[in-house]
Structures are given as structure tokens and as C-alpha cells.
Amino acid sequence: MIKVAELLPGKFVFPIFKNGRSSIEIYSKEKNIKWLINEQLKNIDIITVFLREPAERFVSGVHSFIEFEKRKNKDLDYNTMLHCIENHSIHNEHFMPQFFFLKNLTKYFTGLVDLRGVSELKEWIPNRNKPAIPDITNEQRERISKIKYEDLKYDVLLFERHMYKIADTFYVSKKINIRSLVAEIEYALP
């Protein structure tokens, strides 16, 4: 299911895990904000999507995922989890590339996406809630950072498309047709 919140009148936001999604959902609930789902998105011209720097988001996402899993299984082996993530035997929305969320959005939306840095979300909503999990340690951050996660290339392209000789600009802070965006990234990457 694809959900978009009308955070401000006429301003629609597609929340992505680890990019302020929890804050958006809590704010929407507090303010009784209208959500549009799936086919209802065809009537929207532009949707704002908040993006986060890929490596930072990946580290934070893996940390959140493992901490949530540890609640279910206290005997969870941290190294095994990292190994499974690196080998793609575990997938989760917390560290799944942002690009995959954008690609899923194309199932019901064909208009423009206004790509913004996640730091700009504070201009839309005052509260920024973080998950109720332990803070990441420097050791955990370092270990997660060493994971070679091939799918990060999609998100790197969102932030550093000049590296792929598409253009000398970034996608962030741009408005672009979502299907064009997805096609450009898929064309640039094998």
C-alpha cells in the first residue's frame, strides 16, 4: 500500500523509513491529517519526498532494524545479522534503498516529485521523533559502515549523479517527473 499525507494544505508528502516517517505519522495523527492511498494519488500533481544521505541512512536503518529484532529475540547474534544483511538474505524497509520506495510510488503516481533533504522536514513539522531504541555506539556505527551493500548504489546516484556522468547537479532540491527519475537511475545503473 502506498500512502501519502497532506501535511499542509495542498502539500503532499510520501514518507520513507528512516527519513522522518515516524515523525510524519505522529504529526498526522495529532493533527488528524488526511492520507491518500494507492489510486487516490492519481489526482495529485506533485508529491514531496524527503531524502537522506545514503550511507548515514543505511547505518541508522541497520541499527534500528537490529534493535527492533533484538526485542523479539534476546539471543540474536549481531554479527550474524550484519552478515545476513550484507549477503541480502535479510531485507527490511529501514535500510532498503530510498530509490526502491520511489520506484514503488510509480505504481500509483505519475506526476512530479519534489525531492528535499530530510533536514527540511523541520520546516513542515516541528516535532522530530526518533525510535525508542538505544543510541548507536561508535563501535556499532563502524561495524555497520563496513558492510558492502550493493543496492546503496541507487541512493548514491540520487545524491551524486554527477559521478555517473548524467549531469553536474544533484536530484535533491529538484522537481522531476517520477517516471523520468526512475528511468534515469535505472538506465545509469546495470
pLDDT in tens, 121-133: 988 888 777 778 8
Q: HEC profile for 38-99?
A: HHHHHHCCEEEEEECCHHHHHHHHHHHHHHHHHHHCCCCCHHHHHHHHHCCCCCCCCCCCHH
pLDDT-based confidence at residue 163 (cuts at 50, 70, 90): very low
Q: Which structural domain range is residue 34 located in?
A: 3-53+97-137+152-188
Give the pLDDT score at 165: 42
Cβ-based neighbours of 89, under 8 Å, separated by 6 or more:
none
| E strand map for 93-187 | 112-117, 175-177
If pLDDT is split at 50, 70 and 90, which confidence band does 82 have? very high
61: in domain = no
Write out the three cell numbers for 166: 548524467
Q: What is the mean pLDDT of the chain?
A: 89
Please report whether residue 67 resides in a domain: no
Q: State how many domains the chain has.
A: 1
Using a cut of 0.85, tell me whether the model's pTM lies above it: yes
Cα–Cα distance list, 156 to 57, 79, 142, 144 (Å): 11, 25, 19, 17
Task: Give the per-residue pLDDT at 162.
Answer: 39
63: pLDDT strictly greater than 80 = yes
pLDDT for residue 166 is more than 50:
no
Residue 85, domain member (yes or no): no
65, 96 contact by CB (below 8 A): no
Q: What is the mean pLDDT of residues 63-68?
A: 95
13 inside domain: yes
Per-residue pLDDT band for 25 (boundaries 50, 70, 90) equals very high
For residues 92 and 94, what is the distance between their CA atoms, to the nearest angstrom?
A: 5
**Position 145 in a domain:** no
pLDDT of residue 122: 87
